[in-house]
Amino acid sequence: MNTILYRPSLPESLQRVLRDDHGAVELPEASRAQMAFLQSEVQNVEVLVTSGPRGADATLIAALPALRAIVSFGVGVDAIDFHAARERGIHVSNTPDVLTDAVADLAVALYLDLLRGVSAADRYVRRGDWGHEPRRALGHDATGRRVGILGLGRIGRAIARRLQGFGCDIAYFSRSPREDVDFHYFDTPEKLAQAVEVLFITVAGGAETRDLVNRRVLEALGRGYLVNVSRGTVVDEDALIEALEKGRLAGAALDVFAREPRVPDALRKMDNVVLTPHMGSATEETRVAMVDLALANLRSFLEYGRLVTPVV
């Protein structure tokens, strides 16, 4: 029996190598098929290869009695039940660094789109509205804005570096001030939101950050803009929709949602909202690097019992 299991949400190129070179088997995702599979064919599974958004919950971990490592494709590990993994001494790896620039690039693309209305203008031209009344509303300068970064990790810093090129004044919130940057530090998300015009969310997902951007934070942001490239769970989606519907928030650009791939209808209808399908790391170059790093983790674990980029 094979000892490696993988989820079909992984890129096809990775699945092929897992099957062909490592004899890995696919975990069925349909709930009934998965239940039957987990009851009969998994006694010897030692490694699970999963993706950031799908992760591995406590039920799946409990169903794999021989599991020793979880190799995740993506940097976010919020969908992995760490408590269950730690209790059993199961090692976990992710794919940090290789996707930082791609995610930061998308965040800046969303920022520019939001302030200049690029997607909305594209819809306007395609509808044939150009040259007719009413005229398109003016956008706002993306240069020289006060921006806030919620969670100054690798991706947050990469966004900050890019925005410095736009002459933006950068502030951030994280659990403690970072000594190696001279951006303004705020010790609560609310204070940060109060001080900026555009709030970028790059903090990791998970129980600790669930609804961190709540009604109060959105109110503090006022007629500002929100850009989220982290996890949908960090934002209270109902409060966000309400703030946008009531015109309290100027706009939002969202690559992630609370219940992906479900995107609330209310958001789809708004012209001041930019929506993308969780594609921060979705470039050919970055995905190749992520596949390589996931495979390096798998191979290192199989050979030496050690992961290359363990999550600590």
Active-site annotation, residues: 231, 260, 278
158 and 100 Cβ atoms separated by less than 8 Å: yes
Task: Please tell me the distance from the alpha carbon of residue 11 to that of residue 193, in angstroms, as a whole number.
Answer: 37
Task: Please tell me the distance from the alpha carbon of residue 62 to that of residue 42, in angstroms, as a whole number.
Answer: 11
Q: DSSP secondary-structure letter at 125? A: H
255 and 278 Cβ atoms separated by less than 8 Å: yes
Residues found near ligand 8YV in the complex (CB under 6 A) = 51-53, 73-76, 99, 278, 280-281
The residue number with the shortest CB distance to ligand 8YV is 74
- Which one, 100 or 174, has the nearer CB to ligand 8YV? 100
- Which one, 134 or 261, has the nearer CB to ligand 8YV? 261
Give burial (CB, 10 Å; 0-12/13-18/19+) of 248. Answer: middle
- Which one, 206 or 264, has the nearer CB to ligand 8YV? 206
Amino acid identity, position 192: L
- Which one, 155 or 249, has the nearer CB to ligand 8YV? 155
Residues 6+ apart with CB under 8 A from 30: none
Nearest distance in Å: CB 73, ligand 8YV: 6
- Which one, 7 or 145, has the nearer CB to ligand 8YV? 7
Beta bridge partners of 72: 50
Task: Please tell me the distance from the alpha carbon of residue 23 to that of residue 41, in angstroms, as a whole number.
Answer: 14
- Which one, 145 or 287, has the nearer CB to ligand 8YV? 287
Report the run of H or E that residue 5 belongs to, with start and end: strand 4-6
Sign of CA dihedral 185, 188, 189, 193: negative
Nearest distance in Å: CB 283, ligand 8YV: 11
The DSSP line for 128-178 is: T-TTSSSPPPP----TT-EEEEES-SHHHHHHHHHHHTTT-EEEEE-SS--
